[in-house]
Structure 1
Amino acid sequence: MNTAHFNSLSVDGLWTLHQEVAAKLTQKMLVQKARLEERLRSIRLASEVTRLNYKRRRPYPPVRPKYRNPKNPAETWSGRGRQPRWLRPQLRSGRDLDDFLIDQASAQKRQTN
């Protein structure tokens, strides 16, 4: 349509044309939305199948503590991960990590006997 045709239409004619265009656009948008939702469903199904096919990690047993804070025996560390706050200043002051071993006390008793 050229603009001369729009200029010749009455207000009612323009409004009717507007409603027809809006209805056609709404219909096309609904078709596109249905296609996109179907694609999304297929992607979700594919991702679920992929997720189910992955092997599960084997559960590891809890790690027993290896080091104990002599000032607060409730504070322990397994030796894995970051060093705890109570241990860092002690090591900087010159103490050895072996000084904090939990089994150290029982090992010393065995050596003296």
Structure 2
Amino acid sequence: MSTDELWALHEEVAARLATYLLAEKRLLEDRLKQLGGGIEGERTKSSGGRRPYPTVVPKFRNPDRPYETWAGRGKTPRWLTAKLKSGKRIDDFRISEVA
């Protein structure tokens, strides 16, 4: 076969593969829609997001760095862990309520 014939064969194969892939993609998208999802379905389900939680006020403050606070939720911060190991009590770092 000559180079021109090979190139023509290559273009024909590429065109057939492209149409086959598009048809297969449509078939799979239709199947996904039947199963109750698809990309659009996922967006509508997750658009609700997380439920709103109330803001949590900090309950403990680092006396060395007052901008470091902790609300008492989650893992204990490193500064508080170090202070507790040095012998302090957690109530020493409690923020007094001013209301």
TM-score (norm 1): 0.60
Which protein is richer in helix relative to its size? Answer: 1
Structure 2: distance between partners of 1:57 and 1:50? 15
Q: SS in structure 2 opposite 1:71?
A: coil
The partner residue of 2:6 within 18, 27, 30 is 18
For structure 2, which runs of at least 5 residues remain unmatched after alignment?
Answer: none
Q: For residues 62 and 39 of structure 1, do their structure 2 counterparts lie closer, same or farther at Cα, with a shift above 3 Å needed? A: farther
Letter in 1 for 2:38: A
Aligned to 1:47: 39
Q: For residues 38 and 66 of structure 1, do their structure 2 counterparts lie closer, same or farther at Cα, with a shift above 3 Å needed? A: same
Over the matched positions of the two proteins, sequence identity in percent amounts to: 35
**How many aligned positions are there?**
92
Verify: 1:78 aligned to 2:71, yes or no.
yes
Verify: 1:28 aligned to 2:21, yes or no.
no
Moved more, 43-52 or 70-79: 43-52
Q: SS in structure 2 opposite 1:86?
A: helix
Determine which structure has greater relative contact order: mean sequence separation of CA pairs < 8 Å that are 6+ residues apart, divided by chain length: 2
Moved more, 30-39 or 59-68: 30-39
TM-score (norm 2): 0.66
Q: SS in structure 1 opposite 2:10?
A: helix
For structure 1, which runs of at least 5 residues remain unmatched after alignment?
Answer: 1-13, 107-113
Verify: 1:68 aligned to 2:68, yes or no.
no
| Per-residue deviation, 1:101 | 1.0
